[in-house]
Amino acid sequence: MKQSINNEWVNKHYIMNEYPISQKTYCNKLNLLDTEPYSGFTFHGENKERFIHKSILDTMFLSNRIPNYNKPHQVRKWVRKHKWDYFGNITPLESDIPTNVELTRRIFRKLKSRHADLILFYSVEKNPYSQKLYHTHFLLKSEESIDTNEISSQIKQDSLLREFLYPREIKTNSRFQIESYDYELFHQRGLNYVLKYNHKIGLMK
């Protein structure tokens, strides 16, 4: 039976623009579409053009493995397509890139000890007022709710995190922040924060 083409069905051009995959990966995935479980989710239109239903695109073309860091356009696609639960940032005192990465790793370990399914994507960015100092934005995925107040309490128990993020000489704290990722109000702004990297990015899981 011939399917009707509407906005629920997409072609190769759409998929290659939206998903962080190569031509080779796309062609390899097509082999799955010809198996029985996917028989109702694909059809050929005019000139044998392949159409695929949007409901299976993430399953078929979105991996938890981050693309090659040398291909920033693919990394941007990867971040946009994943569903994030929390957005955060750290602005440590007088910190270079390795220090930012280490502090982020420590925060991740504390979270991971309570949320085994956690995935964290981070991007280190240069401070606007300095050529030598950096800060970090991060995104979190977790199947469980995270108590943000509890995280702050745990961070203060780590001597290195406390030294850089909760210094005694600064009474007000804005050096560690985390909040729920609100897709209605925050999605594009949140992506802009983490996707303007040009120094260091990474994935922790």
81 close to 18: Cβ distance less than 8 angstroms: yes
Residues 44 and 87 in one domain: no
What gap in Å lies between CA 165 and CA 176, rounded to an integer? 6
Residues 55 and 144 in one domain: no
Domain encompassing residue 32: 9-62
- For residue 3, being part of any structural domain is answered with no
Q: Full-prediction pTM beyond 0.85?
A: no
Rounded to the nearest integer, the mean pLDDT of the chain is 85
Residues 84 and 138 in one domain: yes
List, in order, residues 6 or more apart from 87 with CB less than 8 Å away.
Answer: 137, 138, 139, 140, 178, 179, 180, 181, 186, 190, 193, 194
What gap in Å lies between CA 186 and CA 80, rounded to an integer? 13
Residues 36 and 137 in one domain: no
Query: In this structure, what CATH number is given to the domain that contains residue 149?
Result: 3.30.70.1910
Look at residue 190 and tell me whether its pLDDT is greater than 80. no
Taking the CA of residue 148 as centre, how many other CA atoms within 13 Å lie in the half-sphere pointing to its CB? 12
Does an H or E element contain 119, and which? strand 119-126
Look at residue 171 and tell me whether its pLDDT is greater than 60. no
pLDDT of 45 reads 84
Closest CA to 201 of 109, 82, 78: 78
Of the candidate ranges 30-34, 131-135, 176-180, 196-200, the one whose mean pLDDT is the lowest: 196-200
List, in order, residues 6 or more apart from 94 with CB less than 8 Å away.
Answer: 133
Residues 109 and 188 in one domain: yes
Residues 32 and 89 in one domain: no
Residues 92 and 172 in one domain: yes
Count of domains observed in the chain: 2
pLDDT of 131 reads 80
Taking only the tens place, the pLDDT of each residue in 49-91 is 999 999 999 999 998 888 887 787 888 888 888 888 988 899 9
Taking only the tens place, the pLDDT of each residue in 94-145 is 899 999 999 999 999 999 988 888 999 998 988 888 888 999 989 999 888 8
Look at residue 7 and tell me whether its pLDDT is greater than 50. yes
Q: Which two tokens stand for residue 70?
A: 């040398």
To the nearest 10°, report the CA torsion of 196, 139, 65, 104. Answer: 90
Residue 112 neighbours by CB distance under 10 Å: 16
What gap in Å lies between CA 17 and CA 1, rounded to an integer? 29
pLDDT of 180 reads 85
- For residue 74, being part of any structural domain is answered with no
